[in-house]
Amino acid sequence: MRSMTPVLNQIPAPIRISLATLALLALLAFPRAVRAGSFDDKLPDAQSIAALELKASQAQPKEQCFLYAELVHQMIEFSSAQYASGEIEKASATLKHVNSFAQKIHMMVANDERRLKNAQILLRHTAFRLNELLHASAQEDRPLVEQTLAQVNQIQTETMMQVFKK
């Protein structure tokens, strides 16, 4: 195998610096490119959450599990933003509201056959975000976050088991 050193020595120093800078910028931009298709591209707001809640409540039983999983995910993202901006009481209220929707998912897992795997993936990501929130939250807020995380983990496990049954 030949060494690249002789080839690199033939490139003028300013161009080598420019190439190194370009390579560094590409490495720094890479995580953003990977994240571009993630669940968290758009921070949900109260209106989009309310619209999704209405859509989920009116959906066919086979669609509700996924829609409620999406709703729980958006509400966790919204709650995280509320915690980050110092709106602790609002964030806690949002988490309490999440628990009621998580209970609905628990009851609907067996009804949703079409998008159950998507719901399971979304719930896994939601649990990950809740775990991040748990580590970032104040001591007095942790019991509610822990309770919500335990509930989301349980539902995620149930959906995963349902996916493997099929």
Residues 11, 50 within the same domain: no
The answer to the question of residue 40 being in a domain is no
Residues 63, 113 within the same domain: yes
Residues 91, 148 within the same domain: yes
Q: pLDDT tens digits for 44-54? A: 888 999 999 99
What is the value of pTM for the model shown?
0.69
Q: Which domain holds residue 30?
A: 5-35
76 neighbors 102 (Cβ within 8 angstroms): no
Residues 66, 133 within the same domain: yes
Residue 33 reports pLDDT greater than 50:
no
Residues 79, 127 within the same domain: yes
Q: pLDDT tens digits for 5-30? A: 555 566 666 665 554 554 444 444 44
pLDDT for res 60: 85
If one counts the domains in the chain, the total is 2
Q: For the ranges 23-27, 71-75, 108-112, 142-146, which has the lowest average pLDDT? A: 23-27
Query: Is the alpha carbon torsion for 81, 99, 69, 93 positive or negative?
Result: negative
Residues 21, 71 within the same domain: no
